[in-house]
Amino acid sequence: MPATTPIPPSIILDCDPGHDDAIAIVVAAQHTNLLGITTVAGNAPLTLTTRNALIMTDLLGIDTPVHSGAERPLVAPPRHAGYVHGASGLDGADLPEPSRPVDSNHAIDFIIDTCRNTEGVWLVPIGPLTNIALALRAAPDLAGRIAGISLMGGGTFGNRTAAAEFNLWADPEAAAMVFDYGGPLMMSGLDVTHQFQATPDRVDKVRALPGRLAELLADLLVFFSHTYTTRHDDMGGAAVHDPIAVMALTHPELFTVVRRHVVIEVWGEHTRGMTLIDQRSLIERRPPNCDMLTHVDADAAFDVIVRAIAAFSR
């Protein structure tokens, strides 16, 4: 029997680059049918996350359309993560200026039109969920049209607060809408992404690749890891969160997944933005709405990243 090549999933990557978003763009460019990149305010203001996405497409030499979206969360005040990613969102490397302008400032329309015109699109949000919530609210038919949503966010512990992970904390109302949308949902939260660290030996594998892309990504990972190792007392490198939401689709064999019912806390004084994960064994617990990733084969997953970078290295 001839080996069959799995069909790459068609995805829209909704991101706020961001060091780990930049790595996710590389993996998505190599392993998916990347229909478009949409940007959202998150790690940095929208102008910067959009700029960073455009720079990444230049470095990869791809002409994937980039559309910018929401400038701020639905309700929460805009808050960024310069303490992790630097003021630019991608501090730590001498990046070039983007060579082209953004394709449009209408990411929501792009998401809606693409999901209506293409069968079986996966939405892969790896920043605050503002764009995805706005698209689902403007076009409720999307919930039944898309293949699903694979997102990075949440977990049984937080990072921005004790309870809440940054992406969901940044726009809890949007997150609540997405977790309640009713279709297939995959959640790559901190439980799995903190197992996936850019340790020095792994960063060395990137730096050993030829060419400018690898050198710049290695510089970015060094900066990103520095913020993690200096802000945590138990980490050997940055948690490379965002590519996990892509690899959950392209390399499912690398992950352990459990089915859970998950809702977003929007009211709690100390818990706003938290994923409340129903871990009970009681038979009257609510039916699962989510595939939650719990474990990753970190060495194998990092090798996927290294090979993806190598494929664009020249």
| Residues assigned a catalytic role | 241
| Binding test (CB under 6 A) with ligand BDR, winner from 22, 81, 221, 238 | 81
Read off the tokens for 152. Answer: 């990075």
* Nearest one of 19, 35, 18 to 110, comparing CA atoms: 35
Tell me the number of residues near ligand BDR by CB under 6 A.
Answer: 15
- CB neighbourhood size of 201 (10 A): 11
Q: Out of 14, 21, 103, 171, which residue is the one contacting ligand BDR (CB under 6 A)? A: 21
* DSSP H stretches of helix in the chain: 19-31, 46-60, 82-85, 107-117, 130-138, 142-145, 166-170, 172-179, 190-193, 200-207, 212-231, 243-250, 298-311
- Minimum distance, C-beta of residue 94 to ligand BDR, in the bound complex (Å): 21
Of 89 and 112, nearer to ligand BDR (C-beta) is: 89
Taking the complex as a whole, the smallest distance from the CB of residue 134 to Ca ion amounts, in Å, to 18
In whole angstroms, what is the distance from residue 166 CA to residue 45 CA? 15
Q: Which of 295, 285, 296 is nearest to 262 (CA)?
A: 285
Instruction: Decide if residue 165 touches ligand BDR (CB under 6 A).
Output: yes
Q: Which is nearer to ligand BDR, 241 or 251 (CB)?
A: 241
Q: How far is the CB of 241 from Ca ion (least distance, A)?
A: 7
Q: What Rg value do the Cα atoms of the chain yield, rounded?
A: 18
14 touches ligand BDR by CB under 6 A: no
> CB of 185 within 8 A of CB of 151?
yes
Q: Is 27 exposed, middle or buried (0-12, 13-18, 19+ CB in 10 A)?
A: buried
Nearer to ligand BDR by Cβ, of 112 and 149: the residue is 149
43 binds ligand BDR (CB under 6 A): yes
**Region from 14-22, 53-61, 140-148, 203-211 binding ligand BDR, contact rule CB under 6 A:** 14-22
Q: Choosing among ligand BDR, Ca ion, none, which partner's interface includes residue 214 (Cβ < 5 to 8 Å by kind)?
A: none
Q: Cβ 283 to ligand BDR, closest distance in Å?
A: 33
Please answer whether residues 137 and 131 qualify as being in contact, where contact means their C-beta atoms are separated by less than 8 angstroms.
no
Q: Least distance from C-beta 214 to ligand BDR, angstroms?
A: 20
Which residues of the chain form contacts with ligand BDR (CB under 6 A)?
18, 20-21, 43, 81, 84, 126-127, 152, 159, 165-167, 241-242
